[in-house]
Amino acid sequence: MENNLIEATNLSYAYRSATGPAVKALDGVSINVRRGEMVAITGRNGSGKSTLARHFNGLLMPSAGRVLINGLLTTEKKNIPIIRRAVGMVFQNPDNQLISSIVEEDIAFGPENLGVPQEEIRTRVDHALQVMELESLRFEAPNHLSEGQKQLVAIAGVLAMQPECIILDEPTAHLDPRGRRDVIESVLRLNKEEGITIVWLTHFMNEAAKFNRMLIMDSGSIVMEGSPRYIFRRGSEIAAYGLDLPVTTCLAAGLHRQGFNIRPDITDPEELVNSLCLLKQ
Amino acid sequence: MPIETVNLSFSYSKGTPFEQEVLHDIDFQIKDGEFVGLIGPTRSGKTTFAQHLNALYIPQSGRVIVDGLDTADKHTDLVYLRHRVGYVFQNPDYQLFAPTVGEDIAFGPLNQKLDRNEVENRVRVAMDQVGLDYDTFHDRDIYALSGGQKRRAAIAGVLACKPKALILDDITTGLDPRGRDDILRIINILHREQNITIIFISSSMDEAAVLAERIVIINQGKIIMDDKPRRILEKIDELRYLGLELPEVSMIMEKLRRVGYKLPSDIICVEEAIGAIAAALREGGGQ
């Protein structure tokens, strides 16, 4: 399948432990991510989602099974630089990712390391700033920015490496509600306008609801997979995996149960308001 | 144990060209046993303010009085005061430092020069209060804890000093839904059963709206609203102007009101919302 950017087959991974037996973090996971797709991976803390994501750019190597990125095995040492260029990572805490004292220098760091010519770096930095709507912060010091803005800068830094895919590991966990909204909106835009494949890890269900496809992980396995609507129709199953329905879906499902003609799987607040608007007439 | 601030102001790098005002003339009182949500956007000054309340910061101008003791008075025993007003930091990794859970929780009581039996007893009670089983977790390595367990251990360490007030600084960050529910339930029980004063700091209104009896909104170093949660949530336009996101329920209720639904203005949870929408629909013959 040449359309698959990420192809993981029967992937297992065990963390070594100094004292006890090895802890199995992934247990026979198979997943494909197509080029240009956006996928949300959810699951409670410790479900294995970060461990899975770290296999997608060769930060971790499978204990069993295999991972192909653009058809290249992550276990082949010579593939790693190519894979890391294709798949960028953004972590939970932007402070762990920002290193320079000026925003534009931070964004230039990646391409500089790749040996990109100066002129080209300038073009890439300009582009990343523009796409992330950060032009006004170009000469700021990252430590003067809000957490949300820092996270946007971290994403811009990855963007300047011109990856085909960006993996974001709970990128909104430390942000306030406004920062959260800014980050998810710009990432959705990256997918739509730049065609970048997005893998988004979260346990905020209202974030997952914005993706075309979502996966739920539990105890190192993928336990549910489908569109947000498909998944959110199964409220009690989700609860068993330690997750909640989005507030909008709770409202829709509650009204549906009371006998009103409302789809119980609505995930978008606007859609809920529109349906209720129709019902009122 | 009342806590009070009078004309409290604070600036970073005071007296230098980089001086930046963080708190501006704050007057604030909290009564014994209150549960207050302290809400504000990032960099509003809420953490700096809260850290004045247990003398982690000493006022540059104005006063902070805790249980009748002025934190700037050099006769005030600040160690005692910090045991009375416990502070749980946003990041438990900043708070936990001993190798094992038991040692970490025992640190405060040992500092209070209590005898071994009493320390042991305090550790047991504190672990029980946060739902960490003593036999399972007492000797557990701090680094072998999950995010939620670390939060609980950090809270237990503060509880072991028998505080009368707890300041909780964004303690649900990064927790998954169950982890968050567990922590919030523990806090609620501490408040109800032990009458511990709670100051619950958060950048979002969702949790505080449901838990707190009173919400104080701080922005650019000033208190700009101080009221019951339901009253605060009615001021939608003001909150939006401040860049504070409304809870999703409130946002949907507001949109429905705009399209002609007659709904009470003080709805704060999903169940209330379902009831109100259903009532409005039945009345309007929408079924």
pLDDT in tens, A128-165: 999 999 999 999 999 888 888 999 999 999 999 999 99
Nearest to B193 by CA among B99, B138, B129, B286: B129
Nearest to B176 among A44, A260, A270 (CB): A44
Instruction: Give the pLDDT mean for A116-136.
Output: 95
What percent of chain B stands above pLDDT 90?
72
Q: How far off is chain B from A277, nearest CA to CA, in Å?
A: 7
Q: Please, which pLDDT band fits residue B286 given cuts at 50, 70 and 90?
A: very low
> CB of A146 within 8 Å of any CB in chain B?
yes
Q: How far off is chain B from A199, nearest CA to CA, in Å?
A: 18
Q: How far apart are CA A40 and CA A169, in angstroms?
A: 10
State residue A18's pLDDT score.
66
Amino acid occupying residue A97: Q
Contacts of B283 in chain A (CB under 8 A): none
Contacts of B147 in chain A (CB under 8 A): 45
* Contact state of B252 with A251 under an 8 Å Cβ cutoff: yes
Q: Is the pLDDT of residue A208 over 50?
A: yes
State residue A196's pLDDT score.
97
Residue of B nearest to A260 (CA): B287
Nearest to B173 among A173, A259, A261 (CB): A173
* Contact state of A276 with B277 under an 8 Å Cβ cutoff: yes
* Contact state of B245 with A181 under an 8 Å Cβ cutoff: yes
Q: Is the pLDDT of residue A57 over 60?
A: yes
Contacts of B273 in chain A (CB under 8 A): 251
Residue of B nearest to A45 (CA): B176
Residue to mutate among A247, A255, A267, A277, with most B CBs inside 10 A, is: A247
Contacts of B146 in chain A (CB under 8 A): 45-46
Q: Is the pLDDT of residue A66 over 70?
A: yes
Q: Is the pLDDT of residue B207 over 80?
A: yes
> CB of A230 within 8 Å of any CB in chain B?
no
Which long-range contacts (C-beta less than 8 Å, at least 24 apart) are formed by B71-79?
B79/B111
What pLDDT digit, counting tens, does each position of A232-277 carry? 999 999 999 999 999 999 999 999 999 999 999 999 999 999 999 9
- Number of A–B residue contacts, CB under 8 Å: 101
Nearest to B46 by CA among B212, B226, B200, B243: B200
Residue of A nearest to B39 (CA): A176
- Residues 42-61, chain A: which have Cβ within 8 Å of B? 44-46
Nearest to A273 among B41, B175, B259 (CB): B259
State residue B287's pLDDT score.
44
- Residues 259-278, chain A: which have Cβ within 8 Å of B? 259-261, 269-270, 272-273, 276-277
* Contact state of B284 with A280 under an 8 Å Cβ cutoff: yes
Nearest to A251 among B174, B261, B274 (CB): B274
State residue A280's pLDDT score.
82
Q: Is the pLDDT of residue A177 over 50?
A: yes
What pTM was estimated for this model as a whole? 0.87
Residue of B nearest to A23 (CA): B144
Nearest to B65 by CA among B85, B79, B83, B88: B85
Instruction: Give the pLDDT mean for B30-43.
Output: 92
Q: How far apart are CA B238 and CA B240, in angstroms?
A: 5
What pLDDT digit, counting tens, does each position of B102-152 carry? 999 999 999 989 999 999 999 999 999 999 999 999 999 988 888 888 999
What is chain A's mean pLDDT, rounded?
93
* Contact state of B249 with A46 under an 8 Å Cβ cutoff: no
The 3-state DSSP class for residue A17 equals coil
State residue B285's pLDDT score.
53
* Contact state of B270 with A251 under an 8 Å Cβ cutoff: yes
Instruction: Give the pLDDT mean for A26-31.
Output: 96
Nearest to A106 by CA among A54, A57, A152, A148: A152
State residue A1's pLDDT score.
53
Read off the DSSP letter of residue A21. Answer: P
State residue B115's pLDDT score.
93
Cβ(B203)–Cβ(B42) under 8 Å? yes
Residue of B nearest to A93 (CA): B174
User: What ipTM does this complex have?
Assistant: 0.81
> CB of A251 within 8 Å of any CB in chain B?
yes
What pLDDT digit, counting tens, does each position of B68-98 carry? 999 999 999 999 999 999 999 988 888 899 9
Residue of A nearest to B272 (CA): A251
Residue of A nearest to B253 (CA): A273
Pairing of strands A165-169, A197-201: parallel
The 3-state DSSP class for residue A279 equals helix
> CB of A248 within 8 Å of any CB in chain B?
yes
Cβ(A95)–Cβ(A150) under 8 Å? yes
What percent of chain B stands above pLDDT 70?
99
Mention every residue, 6+ apart, whose C-beta is less than 8 A from residue B8: B23, B25, B26, B27, B28, B49, B52, B59, B61, B62, B63, B64
Q: Is the pLDDT of residue B63 over 80?
A: yes
Instruction: Give the pLDDT mean for B184-193.
Output: 94
Nearest to A45 among B41, B179, B203 (CB): B179
* Contact state of A174 with B173 under an 8 Å Cβ cutoff: yes
Residue of A nearest to B252 (CA): A269
What is chain B's mean pLDDT, rounded?
92
Token pair of A94 as six digits: 């932007």
Q: How far off is chain A from B138, nearest CA to CA, in Å?
A: 17
